[in-house]
């Protein structure tokens, strides 16, 4: 994650597809920023919940990722998202903060919140990840 921030590794392709990017990372914390686009609208004219969920999943999972030891990997087992305000293209750039709640030997949990430029909560969530040996590790 730190190598991505430094520009030595490229961001994953989904970042380009859905217009969001990791902007900060530290032990147990990952912050992404994204820009909702009309192209992400659902039939009602608001941003599809899948975009919101993807941004929250990325922040919450990468917060877990930031706690891993060499040779460890992880995957999301379950996550829950609550959308509390509609998001549209007019919302502008948003910030998504993921924070680890608990990191055990095999299970880690995290929480996330998605806020607009004025600090208004747009959505929040929680996530459980399983920690395992990395392939070949």
pLDDT in tens, 16-53: 999 999 999 999 999 999 999 999 999 999 999 999 99
CA–CA distance, 127 with 32 (Å, rounded to integer) = 16
CA–CA distance, 83 with 106 (Å, rounded to integer) = 29
- Classify residue 77 by its DSSP letter: E
Could you give the C-alpha distances from 3 to 27, 35, 38, 49, 127, in angstroms and in order? Answer: 14, 23, 31, 29, 24
CA–CA distance, 11 with 108 (Å, rounded to integer) = 23
Residue 74 CB: number of other CB atoms within 10 A? 20
User: Using one digit for the tens of pLDDT, what is the confidence trace for 89-131?
Assistant: 999 999 999 999 999 999 999 999 999 999 999 999 999 999 9
pTM comes to: 0.94
CA–CA distance, 25 with 49 (Å, rounded to integer) = 24
**What is the structure's pLDDT at 109?**
98
CA–CA distance, 21 with 61 (Å, rounded to integer) = 14
CA atoms within 13 A on the CB side of 14: 9
* Inter-residue contact 18 to 40 (CB < 8 Å): yes
Mean pLDDT, to the nearest integer, of 9-14?
93
| Tokens at 97, concatenated | 């903060």
Bridge-based pairing state of the strands 20-26 and 94-103: unpaired
**What is the structure's pLDDT at 137?**
55
**What is the structure's pLDDT at 135?**
85
């Amino acid at each position: 994650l730190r190598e991505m921030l430094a520009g030595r590794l490229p961001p994953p392709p989904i970042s380009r597809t859905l217009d969001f990017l990791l902007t900060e990372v530290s032990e147990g914390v990952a912050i992404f920023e994204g820009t909702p686009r009309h192209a992400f609208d659902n039939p009602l004219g608001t941003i599809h919940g899948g975009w919101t969920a993807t941004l929250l999943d990325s922040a919450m999972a990468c917060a877990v990722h930031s706690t891993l030891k060499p040779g460890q990997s992880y995957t999301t087992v379950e996550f829950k998202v609550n959308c509390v305000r509609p998001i549209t293209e007019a919302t502008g750039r948003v910030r998504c903060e993921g924070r680890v709640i608990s990191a055990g030997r095999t299970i880690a949990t995290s929480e996330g919140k998605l806020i607009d430029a004025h600090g208004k909560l747009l959505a929040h969530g929680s996530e459980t990840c399983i920690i395992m040996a990395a392939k070949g590790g």
